């Protein structure tokens, strides 16, 4: 079984299964994808995400504001907490720091991103929910804020990870998981594949970040949750282990981290993980 630990189900392309979310989820289920974490990038879209989760028992959601999203009024800690509780979010985020586009029009500045990230980290700690972190070109500041404001017993995940092994190891030390996306399959991603080889398997998650970053051999197309399997296959290949081992371990990792999603795991998944000694 597989889990897509990070997907934007409310943003799937009209070209994906004719724009049918139900068909896209069925295609993923047919490939043994048993759980989906639908990610919030604005608080305004939470009602729509919650509706998706109500319609599909294997979908859970997060609550947060993406670091590159411009808002009319910056949400404080209490607003983030209230949104997460109202819509039964299992995690806070995605949040974080992204310096890649600093200086561009309509991109929040460094100070704004820091304030937003800090508010999300505090909300996550107070709610005892894991935090989903987006980080790009902001290694030192991301780690500094994680050290200051997170509880290693709760932790979180650095999603769609593309930074170096040193950052990954420090994040793991702080109680975080590292999630790999379709980028790991790209021809120019040898450093990321080396990271996938070196990190402990019990600290890895897999994701699509769909509709973005479709893996090889689908690169250039709109991504979808079914293709999280290709991410697992790549990790299995570079580690010289079976795809089933990657699937089982990353699924167990998901439920260890996102504990509020565990009750929605199917009995078959729970039994398989228990029999394998992973839960």
Binding-site positions for a divalent metal cation read 6, 8, 94, 134, 159, 209
Annotated binding site: 6, 8, 94, 134, 159, 209
Task: Say if residues 241 and 35 touch (Cβ distance below 8 Å).
Answer: no
Residue found by looking up tokens 């937003």 in the block? 116
Residue 223 token pair:
């991504």
Q: Report the b/e string of 76-85 with b at 16+ CB within 10 A.
A: ebeebbebbe
Query: CA Rg, the chain, in Å?
Result: 17
Q: Angle at the Cα of 260 (from 257 to 264), degrees rounded to 5?
A: 110
Q: Could you give the residue ranges of the DSSP H alpha helices within the chain?
A: 21-29, 46-55, 77-86, 110-127, 139-149, 165-173, 190-198, 228-239, 243-257, 267-275
Distance, in Å, from the CA atom of 65 to the CA atom of 113, rounded to the nearest integer, reads: 10
Report helix angle 190-198 to 228-239, nearest 10: 70
37: nearest Cα among 171, 130, 169: 130
* H/E element, 73: none
| Residues 6 or more apart in contact with residue 258 via CB below 8 angstroms | 5, 37, 60, 90, 91, 130
């Amino acid at each position: 079984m597989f889990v897509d630990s990070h997907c934007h189900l409310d943003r799937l392309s009209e070209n994906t299964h004719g724009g049918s979310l139900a068909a896209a989820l069925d295609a993923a289920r047919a490939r043994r994808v048993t759980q989906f974490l639908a990610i919030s990038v604005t608080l305004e879209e939470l009602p729509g995400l919650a509706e998706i989760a109500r319609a599909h028992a294997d979908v859970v959601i997060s609550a947060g504001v993406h670091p590159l999203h411009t808002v009319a009024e910056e949400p404080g800690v209490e607003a983030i907490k209230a949104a997460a509780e109202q819509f039964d979010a299992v995690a806070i985020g995605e949040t974080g720091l992204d310096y890649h586009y600093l200086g561009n029009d309509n991109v929040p500045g460094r100070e704004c991103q820091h304030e937003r990230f800090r508010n999300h980290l505090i909300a996550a700690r107070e709610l005892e929910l894991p935090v989903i972190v987006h980080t790009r070109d902001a290694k030192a500041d991301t780690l500094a804020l994680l050290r200051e404001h997170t509880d290693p017993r709760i932790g979180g995940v650095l999603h769609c990870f593309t930074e170096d092994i040193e950052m990954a190891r420090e994040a793991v030390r702080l109680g975080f998981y590292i999630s790999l996306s379709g980028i790991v399959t790209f021809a120019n991603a040898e450093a990321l594949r080396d990271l996938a080889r070196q990190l402990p398997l019990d600290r890895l998650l897999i994701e699509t970040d769909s509709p973005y970053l479709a893996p090889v051999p689908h690169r250039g197309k709109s991504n979808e949750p079914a293709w999280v399997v290709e991410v697992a296959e790549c990790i299995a290949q570079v580690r010289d282990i079976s795809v089933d081992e990657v699937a089982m371990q990353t699924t167990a990792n998901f439920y260890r981290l996102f504990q509020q999603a565990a009750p929605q795991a199917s009995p078959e998944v729970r039994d398989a993980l228990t029999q394998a000694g992973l839960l």
